């Protein structure tokens, strides 16, 4: 079983729908035929036009957030079904800006994951520790709590599409990147935690992406790591040349290969 390679761009609150269309028209020919699956998380207002532009391409359009309810009196919120109808194929959930600026808890993120699954939108669940948590040696504890809360009681059928993005909060938008050793260590730890929650077979299949100051220059080295199945780029994805270079560099480095039959050790409690 081969694990695919994914490169996701997160535009945050940038680009109007007109800018989004122009970007996708420019990006599509640059990444056509690359082995990575290319995803773009665009603002709500650009989902419909961006997915129309991306129709005949290998680019999948998604959202950056959604509400956990099917519908209801929630002024200013957006439902998964609305995103789906607009053309979103996936949704980022639990991005650190949602957790830290908008106060989203592990519990709320879990509810959003369940809703995304019911509404047939692929959830990309973001996890990661703050600088303070890393400094006080809490990284593994925080990551484990986030994964347990996110994944427990998620219906089995949902797990074929779910992805995890490990994004250390201190690396997002700062230009700081963990060492390659640190990235592999945490990705492997994530896989061990997932194995404890869902079993080793599922854990070996779930893609785990790295995010945090990814740029064309570090993309290849990061995806070359054993437990890294792709990249999530914020700032660099706003620029067509930079994002296409990330996709090209990552694709060149890691064409899908057989999943290694490594033994996943149990995590000590
Ligand atoms: C992000 O927004 O998820 C992100 C990783 O941002 P940046 O690449 O700018 O650090």
Q: pLDDT tens digits for 53-73?
A: 999 999 999 999 999 999 999
Q: What is the pLDDT of residue 157?
A: 80
Six-digit token pair at 78? Answer: 């957006």
- Whether the Cβ atoms of residue 171 and residue 205 lie closer than 8 Å to each other: no
Catalytic residue list: 95, 167
- The half-sphere exposure of 98 on its side-chain side, counting CA atoms within 13 A, is 23
Q: Total structural domains in the chain?
A: 1
Q: What is the pLDDT of residue 160?
A: 86
Q: What are the pLDDT digits (tens) for 173-193?
A: 999 999 999 999 999 999 999
The C-alpha atoms of residue 113 and residue 125 are separated, in whole angstroms, by 8
Instruction: Report whether residue 222 contacts ligand 1, using a CB cutoff of 6 Å.
Output: no
Counting atoms of ligand 1 from 1, which one is nearest the CA of 92?
A: 3
* Inside any domain, residue 265: no
Reported as a pLDDT band with limits 50, 70 and 90, residue 105 is very high
Alpha carbon dihedral 253, 50, 16, 234, in 10-degree steps, equals -20
* Its pTM surpasses 0.85: yes
**Mean pLDDT taken over the chain:** 93
Counting atoms of ligand 1 from 1, which one is nearest the CA of 165?
A: 3
* Inside any domain, residue 268: no
Q: Is 261 strand, coil or helix?
A: coil
- Reply yes or no on whether the pLDDT at 262 is more than 50: no
Identify the residue whose C-alpha is closest to ligand 1 atom 4.
234
* Inside any domain, residue 15: yes
Domain that holds residue 193: 2-258
- Reply yes or no on whether the pLDDT at 203 is more than 80: yes
Site to substitute for ligand 1 among 9, 165, 209, 232, most atoms within 8 A of C-beta: 232
- Reply yes or no on whether the pLDDT at 266 is more than 90: no
* Inside any domain, residue 100: yes
CATH of the domain at 91: 3.20.20.70
- Reply yes or no on whether the pLDDT at 146 is more than 60: yes
* Inside any domain, residue 266: no
């Amino acid at each position: 079983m081969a694990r695919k390679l994914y490169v996701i761009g997160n535009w945050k609150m940038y680009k109007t729908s007109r800018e989004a269309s122009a970007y996708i028209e420019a990006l599509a020919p640059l990444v056509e035929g690359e082995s990575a699956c290319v995803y773009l998380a665009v603002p709500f207002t650009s989902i419909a036009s961006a997915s129309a532009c991306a129709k005949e391409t290998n680019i999948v359009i998604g959202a950056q957030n959604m509400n956990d309810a099917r519908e209801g009196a929630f002024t200013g919120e957006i439902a998964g079904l609305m995103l789906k109808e607009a053309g979103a194929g996936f949704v980022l959930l639990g991005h650190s800006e949602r957790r830290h600026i908008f106060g989203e808890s592990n519990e709320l993120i879990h509810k959003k994951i369940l809703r995304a699954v019911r509404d047939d939108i692929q959830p990309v669940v973001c996890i990661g520790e703050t600088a303070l948590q890393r400094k006080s040696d809490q990284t593994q504890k925080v990551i484990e709590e986030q994964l347990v809360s996110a994944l427990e009681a998620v219906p089995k059928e949902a797990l074929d599409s779910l992805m995890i993005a490990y994004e250390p909060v201190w690396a997002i938008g700062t230009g700081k990147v963990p060492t390659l050793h640190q990235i592999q260590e945490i990705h492997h730890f994530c896989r061990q935690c997932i194995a404890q929650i869902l079993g080793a077979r599922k854990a070996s299949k779930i893609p785990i992406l790295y995010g945090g100051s990814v740029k064309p220059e570090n993309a290849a080295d990061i995806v070359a790591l054993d437990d890294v199945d792709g990249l999530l780029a914020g700032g660099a994805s706003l620029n067509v040349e930079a994002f296409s270079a990330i996709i090209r560099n990552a694709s060149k480095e890691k064409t899908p290969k057989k999943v290694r039959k490594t033994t996943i050790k149990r995590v000590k409690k």
